[in-house]
């Protein structure tokens, strides 16, 4: 796993959990700029930092390292709070929809590649 992939996992989980970078930094007693550098893949966090991030985000270390957008949709529960729809961990439905659209776009691209490959073989 690259620093970029790890940083992206942390960012996605943090956003889905409704944390700002500052919230996460405060939770693990770290500077917000350091969280930003980790999420951008500019800094490789120490093991203790990863454990702290996982704990603050209420995920296991293995979930943090092997985060998969598809897991979000397997735990989807919808409730209404104050006029806004939220997903299972108080994530606004718009964020979940955006991730879903990204997954669909990727699926469509794979289908198009496979269809083009089949047509060229025939």
Pair 7, 61 in one domain:
yes
Q: Is the residue at 73 inside a domain?
A: no
Cα gap 43→37, rounded to integer Å? 6
CA angle 12, 82, 100 (to 5 degrees): 30
How sure is the predictor about 111, in pLDDT bands with cuts at 50, 70 and 90?
A: confident
Domain assignment of residue 87, given as a range: 79-121
Total domains, the chain: 2
In a domain, 53, yes or no: yes
Query: Which residue has tokens 């693990």?
Result: 28
Mean pLDDT of the chain: 80
25 shares its domain with 56:
yes
Task: Tell me the three state secondary structure of residue 54.
Answer: helix
pLDDT of residue 70: 62
21 and 41 assigned to the same domain = yes
Looking at the fold, whether 83 and 63 belong to one and the same domain comes out as no
Average pLDDT over residues 105-121: 80
- For residues 34 and 62, membership in a common domain is answered with yes
Residue 28 lies in a domain: yes
- Element spanning 38, H or E: helix 32-39
74 in a structural domain: no
pLDDT at 42 over 80: yes
pTM over 0.75: no
The Cα-based distances of 8 to 66, 72, 73, 117 in angstroms read 11, 15, 18, 31
Q: How far is the C-alpha of 39 from the C-alpha of 68, rounded, in Å?
A: 16
CATH of the domain at 41: 1.10.260.40
């Amino acid at each position: 796993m690259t620093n970029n992939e790890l940083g992206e996992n942390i960012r996605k989980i943090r956003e889905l959990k409704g944390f700002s970078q500052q919230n996460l930094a405060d939770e693990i007693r770290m500077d917000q700029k350091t969280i930003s550098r980790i999420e951008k893949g500019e800094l490789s966090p120490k093991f203790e930092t990863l454990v702290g991030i996982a704990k603050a985000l209420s995920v296991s270390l293995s979930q943090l390292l092997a985060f998969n957008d598809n897991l979000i949709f397997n735990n989807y529960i919808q409730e209404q709070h104050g006029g806004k729809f939220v997903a299972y961990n108080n994530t606004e439905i718009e964020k979940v929809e955006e991730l879903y659209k990204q997954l669909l776009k990727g699926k469509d691209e794979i289908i198009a590649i496979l269809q083009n490959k089949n047509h060229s073989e025939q």
